[in-house]
Structure 1
Amino acid sequence: MKHSFDVAAAPGHLIRRAHQISVALFHTHLAAADVTPVQFAILNALMDSPGVDQTTLATRVAFDPATSGSVIGRLESKGWVARRSDNVDRRRKLLVLTPEGQQALTGMLAAVAAVQAEILSPLSAPEQGQFMHLLALLVSRHEAA
């Protein structure tokens, strides 16, 4: 008798489901902000590293550099991000948060922290620590390979 693959027990399926839960919680908590998780990651990275170029920014948020251009374009159209010419290389554009972007991001930080807590809330404190440790280990070892 032929047995099918147990998708429900597959790591890829469980990671995808966890991602779906994470994104749904993000959108629930940040609906009024009209921002996606990737847009938030870009804004947050720009707060920490103002004046970075698009390729470096994409690497910092683990996002495809080509696709990040459209995300940055949407953030520009919202007035949250601006491109500036590099003083050394005029062809290179550097990204910065606008004052409006800084204000919007500051307003999102508490909600994003609440999302992260809610994602992990079904687990006990020790389980949360173990889960985060193993998840970080999984990602770092795949990235190193």
Structure 2
Amino acid sequence: MFPAVPDPDRDRPDLGAMVMRLGRALVAAERPVLAAHGVSMWGYIVLSALADEPMRTQAALARAIGADKTRIIGTLDDLQERALIEREPDPEDRRVRLLRLTPAGRQLYASVRAGIRAAEEELLGDLTSADRRVFLRVLQRLSAGAD
């Protein structure tokens, strides 16, 4: 009888377990950055979505970020009170609120994103540049397909 061929895949943790550990580490690295800028995780998610493009409705924003539309109202109120976003009536349909970043919101978003990217660089610091490129490319592909 021949000895079994080793299967490195068999002995690795499940993808879900690895992704959860990595996700927790990323959230822990982002928390101090968010706190230093006075923005919540949901606030940053909203700023990120609106940085890409203005949204025509709060419901569209909620769908885009995977949140319940009633859950983000407090976050939107806070961001608007801080003059980081604008919610204006649509001139074509006054029941609809157009959402967009203000210049201050765009500046805060850029600052938070830079801090988060620095924290990510620290986390990825043990990878070679080739491994980092592959990891990021594969992660982008997998996360795009997960929607």
What's the TM-score, normalizing by structure 1? 0.74
User: Aligned residue for 2:57?
Assistant: 53
The 1:138/1:29 distance shift into structure 2, 3 A limit, reads same
The number of equivalent residue pairs is 135
Ranges in structure 2 where 5+ consecutive residues have no aligned partner: 1-11
Ranges in structure 1 where 5+ consecutive residues have no aligned partner: 1-7
User: Aligned residue for 1:136?
Assistant: 140
Q: Which residues in structure 2 correspond to 1:36-75 (within 5 Å)?
A: 36-50=40-54, 52-60=56-64, 62-66=65-69, 67-75=71-79
- CA shift, 1:88, in A, is 1.0
Computing the radius of gyration from Cα coordinates, the structure with the larger value is 2
Q: Secondary structure of the residue that 2:95 maps to in structure 1?
A: coil
What's the TM-score, normalizing by structure 2? 0.73
User: Matched residues in 2 for 1:140 and 1:96: separation?
Assistant: 24
Tell me which amino acid in the other structure corresponds to 2:105: G
User: Aligned residue for 1:4?
Assistant: none
Q: Percent identity at matched positions?
A: 27
Cα root mean square deviation, aligned: 2.5
User: Aligned residue for 1:76?
Assistant: 80
More helix by share: 1
Does the Cα contact within 8 Å between 2:124 and 2:132 map onto a contact in 1? Answer: yes
